[in-house]
Amino acid sequence: MDLKEAIYTRRSIRAYERKPVDRALVQQLIEAAVQAPCGMGAQPWTFAVIEDAAILADLDARTKAHMLGLIDSIPQLAPYRSTLEDPKYSLLYGAPTLVLICAKPDASPTAVNDCALAAENLMLAARGLGLGTCWMGFVTVYLGTAEGGKRFGIPEGHQVVAPIVVGHPTVKFAAVNRTPPDLLFWK
């Protein structure tokens, strides 16, 4: 697969086989992530991988509960109420692997941006290997709390930037029509 095809067909995948992702493939994804550009050469990222089904289920349940607790104070979350209340709904979509990309404390003023670039590299590499990914924004919110970070082993001072589920998709990859770029100016 060429780079353009990977870019144009990479999508957030929300349906996964129960099949585990080979550890060597996860390692390849992390190695691709660290090839991302970074400000001042700081390489401010660190990674954690969760594959234990019980830990993933616990994280899923606690994240859902946390987000439900925020709904009344954050109006943009209101449309998610019924989904988050559904006991059959999994925020992690049944993916067998979660990769956390975290910014090291005081590593760089561009650490969050650098970790986001690493995340995109990881997701494109996964697409190239036929794996699906999805950036889990609600997990970022929960693991950013003192309770969430401590419970799931995030060292103090580290910031979870990109929790990305990885797995073998049950759906086909396909390009999605995007609106043309909104060009502010070209001088």
Q: Yes or no: say if 113 and 186 are a contact pair by the CB < 8 Å rule.
A: no
Q: Where are the domains of the chain?
A: 3-167
- C-alpha closest to that of 169 among 68, 95, 110: 95
Measured CA to CA, the distance from residue 49 to residue 108 in angstroms comes to: 23
pLDDT tens for 78-128 read 999 999 999 999 999 999 999 999 999 999 999 999 999 999 999 999 999
Q: Decide: pTM greater than 0.85.
A: yes
Identity of the residue numbered 147: E
Identify the pLDDT of residue 155.
Answer: 97
Helices (H), the chain: 3-9, 23-33, 53-70, 81-85, 111-128, 137-143, 146-151
- C-alpha closest to that of 153 among 50, 74, 73: 50
Q: Yes or no: say if 131 and 167 are a contact pair by the CB < 8 Å rule.
A: yes
Q: Is 130 left (phi over 0), alpha (psi -120 to 50) or beta?
A: left
Tokens standing for residue 183:
């060009």
Measured CA to CA, the distance from residue 110 to residue 106 in angstroms comes to: 10
pLDDT tens for 154-166 read 999 999 999 999 9
Q: Yes or no: say if 105 and 122 are a contact pair by the CB < 8 Å rule.
A: no
Indicate the fold that domain 3-167 takes in CATH. Answer: NADH Oxidase (3.40.109)
